[in-house]
Amino acid sequence: MADTVQPVQPIEFLRGLRSVRRFTDDPVPEQAVADIFTVSRWTGSARNLQHWAFVVVRDRDTLGRMAAAEGSAAHLAGAALGILLVMDGSALIAQETFDEGRLAERIALVANAHGLESCIGWFKGPGQDEVKTLLGIPAKKLVRTVMSIGYEDTGADGARSHPEHPRKPMAELVHEGRW
Amino acid sequence: MADTVQPVQPIEFLRGLRSVRRFTDDPVPEQAVADIFTVSRWTGSARNLQHWAFVVVRDRDTLGRMAAAEGSAAHLAGAALGILLVMDGSALIAQETFDEGRLAERIALVANAHGLESCIGWFKGPGQDEVKTLLGIPAKKLVRTVMSIGYEDTGADGARSHPEHPRKPMAELVHEGRW
What would the mean pLDDT of A130-145 be, rounded to a whole number?
Answer: 98
- pTM (two decimals): 0.95
ipTM field = 0.95
Considering only CB atoms, which chain A residues are within 8 Å of B28? Answer: none
Chain segment A82-124, per-residue pLDDT in tens: 999 999 999 999 999 999 999 999 999 999 999 999 999 999 9
Chain segment A44-89, per-residue pLDDT in tens: 999 999 999 999 999 999 999 999 999 999 999 999 999 999 999 9
Please indicate whether, in this complex, the C-beta atoms of A98 and B145 are within 8 angstroms of each other: yes
Interface test with A, best of B6, B11, B162 (most A CBs within 10 A): B11
> What is the per-residue DSSP string for chain A?
-------B-HHHHHHT------B-SPPPPHHHHHHHHHHHHT---GGG---EEEEEE--HHHHHHHHHSSBS-GGGGG-SEEEEEEE---S-HHHHHHHHHHHHHHHHHHHHHTT-EEEEEEB-THHHHHHHHHHT--TTSEEEEEEEEE-B-TTSTTTTSSSS-----HHHHEEES--
What would the mean pLDDT of A155-177 be, rounded to a whole number?
Answer: 79
Task: Give the chain A residue whose CA is nearest to the CA of B43.
Answer: A15
pLDDT at residue B156, as a whole number = 76
What would the mean pLDDT of B136-155 be, rounded to a whole number?
Answer: 97
Looking at the partner chain, which of A40, A55, A58 has a beta carbon nearest the beta carbon of B175?
A55
Q: Are the CB atoms for B71 and B18 separated by under 8 Å?
A: no
CB pairs under 8 A between A and B: 193
Q: List phi, psi (to 5°) of A42.
A: -100, 10
- DSSP code, position B76: G
Please indicate whether, in this complex, the C-beta atoms of A110 and B14 are within 8 angstroms of each other: yes
Residue B58: pLDDT above 60?
Answer: yes
pLDDT at residue B98, as a whole number = 98
Residue B117: pLDDT above 60?
Answer: yes
CB A47: neighbour CB atoms within 10 A?
10
Q: Does B137 touch chain A (CB under 8 A)?
A: yes
Q: Does B60 touch chain A (CB under 8 A)?
A: no
pLDDT at residue B163, as a whole number = 55
pLDDT at residue A106, as a whole number = 98
pLDDT at residue B2, as a whole number = 62
Q: Which of residues 32-51 of B touch A (CB under 8 A)?
A: 35, 37-42, 44, 48, 50
Considering only CB atoms, which chain A residues are within 8 Å of B3? Answer: none
Interface test with A, best of B57, B144, B179 (most A CBs within 10 A): B179
Calculate how close chain A gets to B51, using CA atoms only, in Å: 10
Mean pLDDT score across all residues of chain A? 94
Mean pLDDT score across all residues of chain B? 94
Calculate how close chain A gets to B58, using CA atoms only, in Å: 7
Q: Does A101 touch chain B (CB under 8 A)?
A: yes
Among the listed ranges A159-163, B14-18, B136-140, B171-175, which one has the minimum average pLDDT value?
A159-163
Superfamily of domain B30-86+95-128+144-153: NADH Oxidase (3.40.109.10)
What would the mean pLDDT of B137-162 be, rounded to a whole number?
Answer: 86
Could you tell me the maximum CA-CA distance found in chain A, to the nearest angstrom? 53
Considering only CB atoms, which chain A residues are within 8 Å of B94? Answer: 97, 144
Q: What confidence tier does A158 reach under pLDDT thresholds 50, 70, 90?
A: low
Q: Are the CB atoms for A176 and B56 separated by under 8 Å?
A: yes
